[in-house]
Amino acid sequence: MSTYDSLSRIQSDIDSGAIDCVGLVNYYLSNIHKYKHLNALTAVYERDALAKAKKVQAKIDNGTAGRLAGMVFTIKDVYCHTGHALQCGSKILEGFESQFTATCVQRLLDEDAILIGRNNCDEFAMGSSNENSIFGPAINAAGENKVPGGSSGGSAVAVQSNMCLVSIGSDTGGSVRQPAAYCGIIGLKPNYGRISRHGLSAYASSFDSVGILARSVEDTAITLEIMAGPDEYDTTVSQTKVPVYSNHVSWEGKAKVVCFDNILKHEGLHEEVRSATEQTYKSLQEQGHSLDHLGFEYLDYVLPTYYILTTAEASTNLSRYDGVRFGYRSENAHDLESMYKKTRSEGFGIEVKKRILLGTYVLSEGFYDAYFTKAQKVRRLIKEETHSIFENHDFIILPTAPTTAFELNSHNRDPLEMYLEDIFTVQASLAGLPAISLPNGTDKNGMPIGIQVIANTFEEEKLLSFSKYLVDQVLAK
């Protein structure tokens, strides 16, 4: 069977009778079995998916199907789904079952999308390689000694290997965009507050965004459209009207694009990623778009600011995992205090513990102003500088990550090496802006290169339209 790259192709094959929903689910299940060794899924909902496929097919046959009939999707192991295990890639949630379904997941199900499985990820979404997971690392299908990126690594591999059409990841500092880049697919982080976080396990609440991994811009647009918008369970969701993103994925006219010279000159940027990015700038200019070379003054501060603020927020968000209310409880405890201590010591992995300790430190009396308050001030400066660029420009374009996918176990010794992978994605996260990673060719070893486009506040519609044009007419295949 041919590879399915878009929902519209699937829907037309269903209409013509070339395939039905049950056949479609079986197609994805066969890929899930074939690529089991990539460790992209922590649970396969085979029975549920087949049962739903039958129901959706009946609705298609009698003309009552929802807009996502024919979309088979997976969710990262940070989303609640009633009656199903949720572990956030952690031992501390062993045995935990969700009591409700995340709003974003429910909205897709209500439009007749079929949920086929749960994706591996870094523990509590902390990581850039999917190596911090109790389930072991997921593996990049483009090079089986390579990481898929993280933290939504399993989601990226599932889309990359046709185990599903679309996957719902989460992006706090790049966790959808960077794995999408490493796996050669599309990854969108919408504006902060565009999609409800109800049912998304919290990492750093002022950054966390529901994100989409997909094979086409059109599928990204319709998935966003269905999930976005106000939700009574999350008051931080914007009340601004959700555009009909799926109607407008086409671009006309000339764009004013910004590139940052100090990013192009950054010592960590690999040569092949640099030249692919420069080639994109050149093609854009050849096609009549303007390119302004600016410097991004705060480049050296984005990672420290991001890691101070997110560890602070994580240390409070993760205090709820104490052995009393959720999942794992140590059997070696002899009183209440040792139950807390042993449960958390045994339940959390090393990276999560490191971040809880760092976050607790930056929030502690005596250091709060020096670190947390200062980082908040710097976040404000980064936001202001980034927003001011959009007063005169349409998009910022930069590499998604400084390298292509690296080898498994290669970044384990030095945490800074790993954190550097996020250097180009955290700016949009600190500023709360929508950003997308698009595939932009491969390096000499065939590993995918990603390019990132950032747009102004809530301008996802414009971002998706321009992305469609870039994919079709500008970027390397």
Q: Which residues bind ligand GLN (CB under 6 A)?
A: 125-128, 151, 170-175, 203, 310, 422
Nearer to ligand GLN, 71 or 302 (CB): 302
Question: Among the options 129, 175, 209, 315, which is catalytic?
Answer: 175
Nearer to ligand GLN, 88 or 165 (CB): 88
Least distance in angstroms from the C-beta of 149 to ligand GLN: 9
- Please state, in angstroms and rounded to a whole number, the distance separating the CA atoms of residues 55 and 107: 17
Closest CA to 160 of 12, 5, 22: 5
Q: Are 73 and 168 in contact (CB under 8 A)?
A: yes
- Please state, in angstroms and rounded to a whole number, the distance separating the CA atoms of residues 20 and 43: 24
Least distance in angstroms from the C-beta of 353 to ligand GLN: 14
Least distance in angstroms from the C-beta of 331 to ligand GLN: 31
State how far the alpha carbon of 396 is from the alpha carbons of 217, 390, 418, 428, in Å. Answer: 18, 8, 24, 10
Per the annotation, the verdict on 76 as an active-site residue is yes
Nearer to ligand GLN, 127 or 399 (CB): 127
Q: Per residue, what are the HEC states of 184-241?
A: CCEEEECCCCCECCCCECCCCCCCCEEEEEECCHHHHHHHHHHHECCECCECCCCCCC
Taking the CA atoms of residue 22, residue 13, residue 34 and residue 220 in that order, the dihedral angle to the nearest 10 degrees is -100
Least distance in angstroms from the C-beta of 176 to ligand GLN: 7
- Report residue 354 CA to chain centroid gap: 22
Nearer to ligand GLN, 76 or 215 (CB): 76
Nearer to ligand GLN, 204 or 339 (CB): 204
Least distance in angstroms from the C-beta of 203 to ligand GLN: 6
Residues in the chain: 477
Nearer to ligand GLN, 182 or 466 (CB): 182
Question: Among the options 90, 129, 151, 155, which is catalytic?
Answer: 151
Question: Among the options 76, 146, 462, 468, which is catalytic?
Answer: 76
- CA gyration radius, the chain: 21
Least distance in angstroms from the C-beta of 273 to ligand GLN: 17
Which residue has the CB atom at the shortest distance from ligand GLN?
A: 175
Full DSSP string of 247-280 = G-----S--EEEEEHHHHT-TTS-HHHHHHHHHH
Q: Are 165 and 214 in contact (CB under 8 A)?
A: yes
Per the annotation, the verdict on 151 as an active-site residue is yes
Catalytic residue positions? 76, 151, 175
